[in-house]
Chains A and B, each alone.
Chain A
Amino acid sequence: MNMRKYTPVFGLIAVIIIFQLVTTAIGREFYLTQLTMSAYYCLVILGLTVLMGYAGQISMGHAAFFAMGGYTTAVLTTCNLMNVKESLFVKLLGTSGLTIMEKNAYGAEILHLSPWISLFAAVFVTAAVAFLIGIPILKLKGHYLAMATLGFGIIVYRIVLGTRLFGEADGISDIPPFKIAGSLAVSGDPAFRVQNYYIAAFLVVAGVILLMNLIDSRVGRALRSIHGSEEAANAMGVNTARYKLFVFVLSAVFACIAGVFLTHFNGGIGPSEADVMKSVTYVAIVAVGGMANLWGALVMGMTLNYLSLRGYFGSFDEFVFGSILIFIMLFFPEGLLKMGNFRNLARGLARLKNKYSADKKEG
């Protein structure tokens, strides 16, 4: 019985493998690069789906959490520790294997922190910020929460854009690969393309499984009850403030991890990742996916991000996502990938066909 719940996960794994085999077979392995990037963006979207679709709390600032992950790892892994090489702390890190010595393009030796440290630092920083910001703003509901999270997103974007440490408008580049184990590394090097595709896919599958379990549990039910009626949830003994805060932090951490990995994959990060428009895009994709629908979010997240990254929307990218949001809210508030929609479509087509054949008979 338990395994049946995971059947779609096996389907997902099969699709992931088929994609790789097909692209390799037809000599289009470079498609995997954008698929990898889309997969990381999907992690953000999955976390946001649980926050928005299940717990009913909107966040218009999730790009900020993604950027926090990306920038934290970018700063920590590019900062040269050569000057403080002899300090006790750095030495201690060195003997624990948590620093990396490399030569830069000019042959000078540089010493930087291992991405493992920056990953944990990023998760810690993001969780702490989400926690602190969440306490006051999650008291707000609906439009007010949307506005508060939007404001938070704008602040982070401006900080990123205006701070020397974060490279201002240029962002941070030359970020070293994230060596996970042995020859496994998160890196944009074409030689690592296939394994990076699988690293990203692994994170997505793991994320889906964790969130599926969460939704289908005591905690998940409590989150959904908050969406249904916060007052009643409270009266049933659910500490709604705490659950809202925890799910907010959880979704922020998902965005942060995506930010860390994608930054190492891309080898750089720029302020556009913190842009408010990014947050709107994430919200739009969660909406198209059907809000309370992990699979819908995943399918739409992969498709739309892939099309966007391959440049199919050209310079109309923001136009496309904005329009999607309006269109979905107007016509499919329950999302596009809902069985009812397909049924309606089928019914509509059947009606057209009947009408057509009736017309033909008369004619």
Chain B
Amino acid sequence: MSFLEVRNMCRSFGGLRAVDGVSFAVVKNAIKAVIGPNGAGKTTLFNLIAGSLEPDSGEVRIDGKNIYNLPPYRIARNGISRTFQNIKLFSHLTVLENVMIGRHIRSRSGFIPAMLHLPRSRREERDIRERSMEILELMDIGDLADRDAMSLPFGKQRILEIARALATEPSLLLLDEPAAGLNLYETAQVSEMITGIRERGITVLVIEHDMSLVMNISDEIVVLSSGRKIAEGVPTEIQKNDEVIRVYLGEDDA
């Protein structure tokens, strides 16, 4: 039973076919990795699924529901949350406030109740704060709650971005290179964090270059090259796939 279904996704930039007819599916509560050389179209594919880029054609379903070509905020409301390859935290907001934005879709107060500070919105505000604090504690960065988000070290910023995404209570989490720029110790932490996220019943789709991380945590792997899917399968299959070895290591004519 596939939870996320991507069918025939296409997107070109001018003459470049960045994503060219990619189809794959993710089983509920699995960790699936998207790998491929630089420029293979991994992040473009993510942006198409999350709605920050408009697809040329294709189909995306989550839990059977068609989310193709919806604006990103509506895709988020359908239970898909994401992180960004080049971290996009909210500047001028504290660590806690960043996570609190994640609670946006789980709360309702509009302009008027907010301005009048009505009891309902006050109660909601308290819930948002408590719930966000819990998530920070869970990710072990509760002590940084009042710091300015941009003042955190890089590794903590990545963790904060994941915390913010988790605050939306997603059913599918898209992680775009969560270990990029992290040292070995931090990478191990992220690896543990991702498996922990899966244990909470969340399906994970992750782009990653760190092969040992990918091979360790993922149930299945999709390999992209020049916008096309060239392989899909469990890690052991992918490791032995000739096509994958060719795009990663180059042609061997000898």
Interface residues of A (CB under 8 A from B): 210-211, 213-214, 217-222, 224-225, 227-229, 231-240, 246, 250, 292
Interface 9-residue window, one of B35-43, B83-91, B195-203, B217-225: B83-91
10 pairs, CB–CB < 8 Å, chain A vs chain B: A218-B100, A218-B104, A221-B100, A225-B90, A227-B91, A231-B72, A234-B73, A235-B82, A238-B104, A239-B73
Asked if A237 and B92 sit within 8 Å, CB to CB, the answer is: no
Q: List residues of chain A with CB within 8 A of the CB of B191.
A: none
Interface pair A237/B105, CB less than 8 Å apart: yes
A214 neighbours in B (Cβ, 8 Å): 111, 114-115
In the complex the two chains form, is A229's CB within 8 Å of B89's CB?
A: yes
Does the CB pair A231–B52 fall under 8 Å?
yes
Please tell me if the beta carbons of A228 and B121 are within 8 angstroms of each other in the complex: no
Given A218-B107, A219-B109, verify A233-B116 contact (CB < 8 Å): no
B76 touches A221 (CB 8 A): no
Shortest distance between the CB of B121 and any CB in chain A (Å): 6
Residues of chain B within 8 A (CB-CB) of A232 are: 84, 88-90
Is B91 a contact partner of A219 (Cβ separation < 8 A)? no
Contact (Cβ within 8 A) B91 A236: no
Given contacts A219-B110, A234-B72, contact A210 B116 (CB under 8 A): yes
Check B48 for interface membership: any CB of A closer than 8 A: no
* B92 touching A219, Cβ below 8 Å: no
Question: Looking at the complex, which one of B93, B114, B165 makes contact with A213 (CB distance below 8 Å)?
Answer: B114
* Smallest CB separation, A228 vs chain B (Å): 3
Measured CB to CB, the closest approach of chain A to B186, in angstroms, equals 21
The interface residues of chain B lying within 8 Å CB-to-CB of A246 are 111
Q: Quick check: A228 and B91 within 8 Å, CB to CB?
A: yes
Chain B 59-87: CB-based contact to A (< 8 A → 1; otherwise 0): 00000000000011100110001101000
Give bound CA distance, A92 to B38, whole Å.
73
Expressed in whole angstroms, the minimum distance between the Cβ of B212 and any Cβ of chain A is 28
- 1/0 contact trace for B24-60 toward A, CB 8 Å? 0000000000000000000000000010100000000
* Shortest distance from the beta carbon of A159 to any chain B beta carbon, whole Å: 29
The contact of B115 among A210, A229, A292, by CB within 8 Å, is A210
Q: Which of A222, A232, A292 lies at the interface centre, i.e. has the most chain B CB atoms within 10 A of its CB?
A: A232
> Within the assembled complex, what's the spacing in Å between the Cα atoms of A236 and B125?
17
Question: Count of B residues near A, CB < 8 Å?
Answer: 38
Bound CA span A135–B122, Å: 30
Give the interface centre of B81, B104, B124 by most chain A CB atoms within 10 Å: B104
B contacts, CB < 8 Å to A: 50, 52, 71-73, 76-77, 81-82, 84, 88-93, 97, 100-105, 107, 109-111, 114-117, 121, 124-125, 128, 164-165, 168
A135 to chain B, nearest CB (A): 15
Bound-complex Cα distance A238 to B115 (A): 18
Q: Is the CB of A217 within 8 A of B114?
A: yes
The chain A residue sitting closest to B97, CB to CB, is A221
B residues within 8 A CB of A240? 73
Q: In the complex, are the beta carbons of A228 and B89 less than 8 A apart?
A: yes
Closest to A210 in B: B115
**Pick the contact of A236 from B81, B116, B124, B128 — CB < 8 Å?**
B81
B111 touches A236 (CB 8 A): no
Residues of B within 8 A of A224 (CB): 90, 92-93, 97
Set of chain B residues within 8 Å of A250, measured between Cβ atoms: 111
Q: Which residues of B contact A233 (CB under 8 A)?
A: 90, 101
Q: Which of A214, A224, A232, A236 has the most CB of B within 10 A?
A: A236
Q: Which of A217, A221, A227 contacts B121 (CB 8 A)?
A: A217
Within the assembled complex, what's the spacing in Å between the Cα atoms of A328 and B109? Answer: 36
Q: Are A217 and B125 in contact (CB under 8 A)?
A: yes
In whole angstroms, what is the CA distance A240 to B104 when docked? 12
Q: Are A221 and B105 in contact (CB-based, < 8 A)?
A: no
CB–CB A236/B109 < 8 A:
no
Given contacts A211-B115, A229-B89, contact A218 B82 (CB under 8 A): no
Q: Which residue of A lies closest to B122 (CB)?
A: A2
Question: How many angstroms from the CA of A139 to the CA of B184 in the assembled complex?
Answer: 42
Evaluate contact between B111 and A218: CB separation under 8 angstroms. Answer: no
A5 to chain B, nearest CB (A): 10
Instruction: Let me know if B117 and A213 touch, CB within 8 A.
Output: yes
Q: What separation, in Å, do the CA atoms of A217 and B101 have in the docked complex?
A: 10
How distant is A348 from chain B, measured CB to nearest CB, in Å?
A: 25
A228 to B94, CA, bound (A): 11
CB pair B50 A235 closer than 8 Å: yes
